[in-house]
With several copies, the nearest count.
Chain A
Amino acid sequence: MHNHDIDAVIESLLFAAGDEGLSISQLSAVLDISMQEAEITINRLKESYADQKNRGIHIVELAGAFQLATKREMTPYIKKLVESPVTSTLSQAALETLAIVAYRQPITRMTIEEIRGVKTDRPLHTLVSKGLIKEAGRAEGAGRAILYGTTHEFLDYFGLNDLSQLPALTEDIDGAEGEEETDLFFKSLQSSLGADQPADHE
């Protein structure tokens, strides 16, 4: 399996893992090396990222998981990026969050984060402050978490009369695959097979 430089493989894995990070045991499983070896390697890499002056990201360890993050001294530049006039539209994070709230309301922050796979409190905050979404009740159960929904302004802004005018998604927002045209034949085949078969195999 190791036709590739182990440093490169680990970098790509850390990158893909994102906020969730990678544990030593995951690394050892994917790389097919011992836990000890995985630990030595990741720590060597960690030092190397930190030392290289031409690198803007480094490896941090949080709660036993390693993840990539921008180096602290880069913060002023990132701040400048956010402030630059070119970026005056809603961020990708905010747009994603808004889409999820619009289609799945009422919805809690936790569910949104499950769908997006990343922390989402700030984008939610942005959207609330722009008046596009609002608190729309509380979830049942222990935490009584805030439920979010879109506002009247949201409809106004997008020129909709009501939520039913949102374009239908072909894909379920949970990530389950929607009905695809090519599948219709098989769907109808399945349905002709009787209801005791699970109709969807998504």
Chain B
Amino acid sequence: MEYSVKVDAFEGPLDLLLHLIQGLEIDIYDIPMAEISEQYMLYIRAMKVLELNLASEYLVMASTLLAIKSRMLLPKHEESWDHDDAPFEEEDPRDELVERLIEYRKYKHAAVELKEKEQERGSFYTKAPVDLSQFETQKQDSLEELQIDLHDLLGAFNKLMRRKKLKKPMSTKISRQEVSIDKRMEEILTDLRKLNGPKLFHEMFPITEKPHMVISFLAVLELMKRNEITIRQEHNFSDILVEAFEGVNLVAQP
């Protein structure tokens, strides 16, 4: 398996920019370049800290943003050499970017609608065709007449995968327990204090379910920030150790 860790969470620089524009409640047709560049760089830095493999597109966009920003800072002396007085539509350095963002956003929203349709379609059950080959005539069609290609094969397989199968045993649904970050922080800290020594980093993730792992990860980050725990690594690639600071601080004190 290859490990090309994607800069997760965002689908690329355009997606990140849209996220920022929305978060900052900026008018997409009048983007404050200084602000957006600053925020953008912050995210890039964060991704680097996380050692996520930053796709080169993000860096290209960073320089594009800076280029637009500096072009906008240039003094506008067009008037001086605007020889005839024809209404001269001054080109905004942001135009091309805005156009790309709007175009991309169209499809991003279409993707959301497709996702809804995917779920809707996934909520009903269909059945396999009855095996009808007993009725097939003796005269078999030759292969050439079949007119199928690999895509039909893949499509048929995908369809099969979508079909639901009857469960062998009646399974009792394990109701997923939602764990809050606060609760997980408390658990981790109590655990570490009881131990009175370091614990391996991976032991912070006893349940390998995505939501639980994310919560655990966030809990560890938050505990670090609050100086409740310390994390160290003896040398490169050695085990990461997590230990509670001595102290009487209680987590999540009201």
Instruction: Note whether A and B contact each other (Cβ less than 8 A).
Output: yes
User: Do A18 and B49 touch (CB < 8 A)?
Assistant: no
- Chain A residue, CB-CB nearest to B152: A95
Binding site for B on A (CB under 8 A): 12, 15-20, 26, 29, 60, 67-72, 75, 78-96, 98-100, 102-103, 115-123, 125-126, 128-132, 134, 151-153, 156-160, 166-167, 169-171, 173-179, 181-194, 196-198, 201-202
Residues of B within 8 A of A116 (CB): 11-12, 14, 104, 107, 128, 160
Known: A189-B213, A189-B217, A196-B202. A18 touches B166 (CB 8 A): yes
Interface status of B119 (Cβ within 8 A of chain A): yes
Interface status of B84 (Cβ within 8 A of chain A): no
Known: A95-B156, A117-B166, A151-B151. A184 touches B130 (CB 8 A): no
Residues of A within 8 A of B225 (CB): 191-192
Least CB distance, A17 to chain B, in whole angstroms = 5
Known: A91-B129, A178-B112. A117 touches B61 (CB 8 A): yes
User: Do B159 and A156 touch (CB < 8 A)?
Assistant: yes
Give the number of A-B contacts (CB < 8 Å): 365
Residues of A within 8 A of B20 (CB): 201
User: Do B125 and A15 touch (CB < 8 A)?
Assistant: yes
Interface status of B183 (Cβ within 8 A of chain A): no
Is chain B's interface secondary structure helix, strand, loop, or mixed overall? helix
User: Do B157 and A99 touch (CB < 8 A)?
Assistant: yes
- Interface pairs (18), CB distance under 8 Å: A12-B125, A16-B164, A17-B130, A70-B126, A78-B164, A79-B135, A85-B122, A85-B163, A96-B157, A99-B114, A118-B128, A118-B131, A122-B131, A159-B117, A167-B114, A169-B110, A188-B5, A193-B45
Interface status of B167 (Cβ within 8 A of chain A): yes
Interface status of B174 (Cβ within 8 A of chain A): no
- Chain A residue, CB-CB nearest to B170: A29
Interface size for chain B: under 10, 10 to 19, 20 to 34, or 35 or more residues?
35 or more
Residues of B within 8 A of A79 (CB): 135
CA distance A156 to B213 in the complex (A): 35
Is chain A's interface secondary structure helix, strand, loop, or mixed overall? helix
User: Do B19 and A182 touch (CB < 8 A)?
Assistant: yes
User: Do A18 and B162 touch (CB < 8 A)?
Assistant: no
User: Do A18 and B129 touch (CB < 8 A)?
Assistant: yes
Least CB distance, A137 to chain B, in whole angstroms = 13
User: Do A182 and B128 touch (CB < 8 A)?
Assistant: no
User: Do A98 and B114 touch (CB < 8 A)?
Assistant: yes
User: Do A158 and B117 touch (CB < 8 A)?
Assistant: yes
- Chain A residue, CB-CB nearest to B206: A197
